Structure 1
């Protein structure tokens, strides 16, 4: 498997933005799946102040080789000037699910 699969977390401002980004990524076959967690509460530093906001979390499943393309696509439509896009290697899992990721994305 060699760490070729990844999970990517992306936070967005609202459900509409989440739906737009997930649809673009799916249509372009950059991702196999996007889970949309509709309401999270975030606290963070921004411009030397502690801020808090409601956000939507995307949990994205794809392949490591598609990460740069995924980042580029998200940054072109994301409303944040510095969007959270962080990736984690999948170290193992159901081989049938991982094969499904392979079949679902562009090679």
Structure 2
């Protein structure tokens, strides 16, 4: 069981909520935290941009990542959405077990 955190940026809270809820309903994520406002600075097509965005921190397992990424890429309004994952090295055993149980369907 490897629990990971996936960070996904969205143009607004409604979009983040819609896709985040679908990830939970499809059992591709155990928990989605929506961080209401971040500022992203990046280069796009040769131009430096600064945009207000919403970030979702998604807790899931490594075994669900490919399905999660596929769903997000198909559903996301951006041409190149940010979908990046990080391993979770340490955490509360009870929380990590809960994430695992949610992903494996042991309710």
C-alpha distance in 1, partners of 2:104/2:21?
A: 15
The equivalent residue for 2:28 is: 30
Runs of 4+ in 1 over 4 A off after TM superposition: none
The equivalent residue for 1:53 is: 51
When the two chains are superposed, the root-mean-square deviation of aligned CA atoms in Å is 1.0
TM normalised by structure 2 equals: 0.94
The equivalent residue for 1:13 is: 11
The equivalent residue for 1:82 is: 80
- SS of residue paired to 2:29: coil
Gaps of 5+ in 1: none
TM normalised by structure 1 equals: 0.94
Gaps of 5+ in 2: none
Aligned length: 105
